[in-house]
Structure 1
Amino acid sequence: MIPLPSPQQLRYLIMLAEMRHFGRAAKACSVTQSTLSAGILALERQLDVNLLDRDVGKRVMFTPIGEEIAIRARAALTALEAVGEAALTSREPLTGPLRIGVIPTIGPFLVPRLVPMLRARYPQIRLSLYENLTERLLEKLTMGRLDLLLLAMPCACEGAHTQPLWRDDFLLAVPRDHPLASRAEIPLSMIEAERMIMLEDGHCLRDQTLDICRQEGGWSRTDSNEEFTATSLYTLVQMVGQGLGVALLPRLAVDSRILDGTEVVARPLAGAASRVIGLAWRPRSPRVDDFTALGRLFGGLSPVPRNEKQPQPA
């Protein structure tokens, strides 16, 4: 009979493959470094194969078969965890741990409302929140380290099931004394001569900004003309306030009073410039019914008036 690794051994291997550092992997697994090292060594002996290349010094380097087994270990552990999740949700839906990933251009503006609402409606949920960029959240979702993502679409979400919740319009943020501040609505053609401040690479809002500004009659310059980037929407607003340029802001952030105390105002853009706030989860998750119910609940967080047309679930 082929010897089967234990779930704990799989966790050690997966975390080491992700962290590429014994100390950090051990901390993530809540064990000592010696315990994790011994677990990996025991797994190698059990499988009679070298998972790590120990001829490269202190670096953590996986052998080709080690890389393959780590990938298979992720899938196996996800399947094992799904067994327990299926049993739990069949007994009592919307209970137990719920690990939600959220992107930085949504988290600060929805989390203060989302957490109290979840605690009040579903007190048996043990909520964990993790904020990061879309690509990294999707990686953790695939590896089974997150259950549900709250993100902006369109996104490169291949392999995940997505459920759109509501449309989040973009507004143009300009200094209060800027000539465009006096307009009730701003055509894209009028921002062609403006310096556009954007978030740094990796933020989906940056890509969405570029797509909008490159529409017919809009901003036609390329990334190489850009002079200012920000790491967060809060920094971006401060840059606009200092007269360094203009920026697109989601209505979600503006309605959350991100402009309070600044010399920045936001004006609507002519046309339908927007993103869609939505959820994503693994297609074969046993908690699909839970996530669908949460989608209906999260829909109540929409800043858009309820009489406006909302995006329909895919």
Structure 2
Amino acid sequence: MKITLRQLHYFRALAETRSFGRAAALVNVSQPAMSMQIKELEAILGTALIERSPRDLRLTQAGRSVLERADRILAEAMELEADARHARGLGELNIGMIPTVAPYLLPGTLAALRAADITRDLRLREAQTADLLDGLRGGLLDAVVLADPAPAPDLIAQSLFTDRFVLAGSPSRLSTLGASPEALRPVGLPPEQLLLLDEGHCLADQALEVCALDRRQTRLDLGASSLSTLCGLVAQGFGLTFLPEIALATETRGTPDLALRRFDAPEPARCVTLVRRSGTAQSDWFAELAEHIEQAAHAQIAQAEKIAPPDMR
């Protein structure tokens, strides 16, 4: 008998969940089928891979070694399938974007991709950074669009554009900040007036970082999951928030009472980046996707500079 990719896949699921029941559910098989495949793998290798106990299981020393190799083998198999798919003319493309980018860049990006090849099968996922990275590393996504991602040896990141932040609030709320230069810098904002997205959204973390604040210093924990929700609140005078430039055209259109002010230089900003796995063979699809996203972003930023001119303070 020979080792199969299925056995390695099941074993990795078991190592991750440390439970036959949870592992079986994760790979969508019955628990007896999962157990049988693991036993067969142990028989082929001639060694125990897990230590079983009534409440838990642990990997043996051999199991840890097998898991390390299984990760590499499964990653190579995944890349082989992806490369073959793209070699057939791109075919299916799975893209992920964070929620503070997707609503503003997806329409333009998808229109350009469809215009270039009407036969493309595009699949999209909007999720927070951690979920997108899990999907990318797990092979569910081919590329993801993130903001200021941390460097990782298994990933390749291409910077797309710089997205500056603009301060948003009601006209009366912004007028209370006065005209002093300090009031137009993030660190000069009153923390009790800041409304931010829920935890897990990188935009909220970036706003806290540029303001040198802890989330506990902000006034309200709203659990808001969209910029539209925040814009509706601050337009009614409930506080202040940060808006990325790419969102200005959309959010001001739906919120006529929203007022904006530019920060003093250096303006706070985020770097929006396209990320793929380092094991994915470089091909035209990645560069083409990056180009379309950049074009969609530049169109949004051009509109933003009309709505909130760079010299507006």
TM-score tier by shorter-chain length is: 0.7 to 0.9
Work out whether residues 195 and 230 of structure 2, in 8 Å CA contact, stay in contact via their aligned partners in 1: yes
- Separation of aligned partners in 1, 2:10 and 2:123: 21
Paired residue type of 1:118: L
Q: How does 1:39-118 map to 2 (within 5 A)?
A: 39-57=37-55, 62-63=59-60, 65-90=62-87, 92-95=88-91, 97-118=92-113
Alpha-carbon deviations, 1:92-146, whole Å to 9, x = none?
3422x32222222222333344334433423443333333322343343334332
**Partner in structure 2 of residue 311 of structure 1:** none
Q: Measure how far apart 1:79 and its partner are.
A: 0.8
**Once the two structures are superposed, what CA deviation does each residue of 1:256-284 show, in whole Å capped at 9, x if it has no partner?**
23661474333322222221222011223
SS at match of 1:224: helix
> Alpha-carbon deviations, 1:15-64, whole Å to 9, x = none?
4444556566545545444433432332233223333443143x565455
Give the match for residue 142 of structure 1. 137
Is contact 1:238-1:262 (8 Å) kept?
no
When residues 67 and 168 of structure 1 are mapped into structure 2, their CA distance, relative to the original with a 3 A threshold, is same
Equivalent in the alignment of 1:170: 165
| 1:276-291 alignment, distance < 5 Å | 276-291=271-286
Q: Give the whole-Å Cα distance in 2 for the aligned partners of 1:16 and 1:130.
A: 26
Counterpart residue type for residue 50 of structure 1: A
- Give per-residue Cα distances to partners, 1:47-90, cap 9 Å, x unaligned: 23333443143x56545543443343222112123234334444
CA distance 1:258–1:156, change in 2 (3 Å): farther
Give the match for residue 254 of structure 1: 248
| Alignment partner of 1:121 out of 116, 131, 142 | 116
Deviation at 1:246, TM superposition (A): 1.1
Matched AA of 1:267: R
Residue type of the alignment partner of 2:142: D
Q: TM-score, normalised by structure 1?
A: 0.77
Contact in 2 for aligned 1:183/1:267 (Cα 8 Å): no
1:277 partner letter: V
Other-structure match for 1:7: 5
Residue 237 (1) aligns with residue 231 (2): yes
Aligned to 1:293: 288
Alpha-carbon distance between aligned partners in 2 of 1:35 and 1:262, rounded to the nearest angstrom:
59
Query: Which residue of 1 is the match for residue 203 of structure 2?
Result: 205
Q: Which residue number corresponds to residue 156 of structure 1? A: 150
**What do the CA deviations read for 1:149-176 (whole angstroms, capped 9, x no partner)?**
11112x2132221111122221112124
Contact conserved, 1:165 with 1:278, CA < 8 A, in 2? yes
Question: Quick one: which amino acid aligns to residue 98 of structure 2?
Answer: I
Q: Given that residues 101 and 146 in structure 1 are in contact (C-alpha distance below 8 angstroms), is that contact kept between their aligned partners in structure 2? A: yes
* Contact persistence 2:186–2:263 (CA under 8 A): no
Q: 3-state SS of the aligned residue for 1:94?
A: coil
- Return the alpha-carbon distance in structure 2 between the equivalents of residues 183 and 113 of structure 1: 38
CA RMSD of aligned residues (A): 3.4
Letter in 2 for 1:234: S
Which amino acid is 1:225 matched to? Answer: Q
Return 5+ residue gaps in structure 1 as ranges. Answer: 215-220, 309-314
Measured in 1, the distance between the counterparts of 2:282 and 2:146 equals 19
> What TM-score, normalized to structure 2?
0.78
Distance 1:81 1:189 in 2: 44
**Aligned residue type for 2:6:** Q
CA 1:245/1:41 → structure 2, altered by over 3 Å: closer, same or farther?
Answer: farther
User: Structure 1 CA distance, aligned partners of 2:228 and 2:120?
Assistant: 31
Letter in 2 for 1:175: S
What is the aligned residue count?
A: 295
Flag the structure with higher helix content: 2
SS class of match (1:300): helix
**Pair 17,101 (structure 1): closer, same or farther in 2 beyond 3 Å:** farther
2:308 is matched with none
